[in-house]
């Protein structure tokens, strides 16, 4: 029987398998507290040609070689069990209360179909510092309140009601090209400033552990 969870958090990556501890260590206690799951969807050089899912107590790992971010995100949504599905990416730092603010956003706006927050530049060369009071920047999910003329949402910091997705198959690119613009046009997205993600201005994690050629070490670490 498929479990019904309150929250699924999807982390996508197409980099050679990075050290994801900067995001997983922050996410895990939050997601656990809300009765949820973390899904890492990755396309690394050592991944198999056919897609695989490895379940561990802390994380579900989706892997397939040569997959794009939209493909990985769609695949992850298809297998997610959460009533709320939140998305972020490997070069992000989520706030310690990110999950709490997701639920707060939906509680404040019970009729909304998606909640997004501020996505800001992380300090250029450090991923281990407190965010401080840096303003929103070019990474911002949206510059101001959602408006019909703004058709851009960053999937680094957005949470959806499960009901916005098809019941079975999610086509590749449908989230980015169809769902997000439609939700914005229809006023189905609310900006909740409490949802904060700090995003690096470049891929990869400078100053952290050497990048791993496969996910095996991470799989063992989060088993």
pLDDT band at 44 (very low <50, low <70, confident <90, very high): confident
> Residue 53 pLDDT more than 90?
no
Cα–Cα distance for residue pair 31/34, rounded to 1 Å? 5
pLDDT of residue 79: 92
Residue 49 CA: distances (Å) to CA of 65, 66, 108, 144: 5, 8, 44, 42
Looking up tokens 């706030």 gives 95
Domains in the chain, please, with CATH?
Answer: 5-204 (3.90.550.10)
Higher pLDDT, 122 or 22: 22
> Residue 138 pLDDT more than 50?
no
> Residue 195 pLDDT more than 90?
yes
pLDDT band at 16 (very low <50, low <70, confident <90, very high): low
Name the range with the highest mean pLDDT among 16-30, 51-65, 149-163, 164-178.
Answer: 164-178
Name the range with the highest mean pLDDT among 6-15, 18-27, 131-140.
Answer: 6-15
């Amino acid at each position: 029987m498929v479990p019904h969870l309150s929250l699924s958090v999807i982390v996508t990556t197409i980099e050679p398998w990075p050290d994801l501890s900067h995001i997983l260590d922050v996410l895990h206690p939050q997601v656990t507290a809300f009765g949820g799951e973390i899904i890492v969807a990755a396309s690394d050089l050592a991944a198999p040609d056919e897609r695989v899912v490895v379940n561990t107590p802390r994380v579900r790992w989706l892997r397939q070689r040569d997959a794009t971010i939209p493909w990985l995100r769609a695949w992850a949504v298809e297998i997610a069990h959460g009533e709320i599905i939140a998305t972020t990416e490997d070069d992000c730092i989520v706030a310690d209360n990110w999950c709490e603010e997701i639920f707060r956003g939906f509680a404040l706006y019970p009729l909304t179909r998606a909640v997004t927050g501020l996505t800001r530049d992380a300090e250029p060369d450090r991923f281990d510092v407190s965010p401080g009071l840096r303003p929103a920047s070019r990474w911002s999910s949206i510059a101001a309140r959602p408006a019909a003329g703004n058709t851009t949402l960053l999937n680094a910091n957005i949470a959806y009601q499960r009901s916005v997705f098809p019941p079975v198959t999610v086509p590749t690119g449908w989230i980015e090209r169809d769902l997000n613009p439609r939700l914005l046009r229809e006023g189905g997205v609310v900006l909740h400033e409490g949802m904060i993600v700090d995003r690096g201005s470049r891929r990869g994690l400078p100053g952290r552990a050497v990048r791993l050629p496969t996910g095996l070490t991470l799989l063992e670490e989060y088993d």
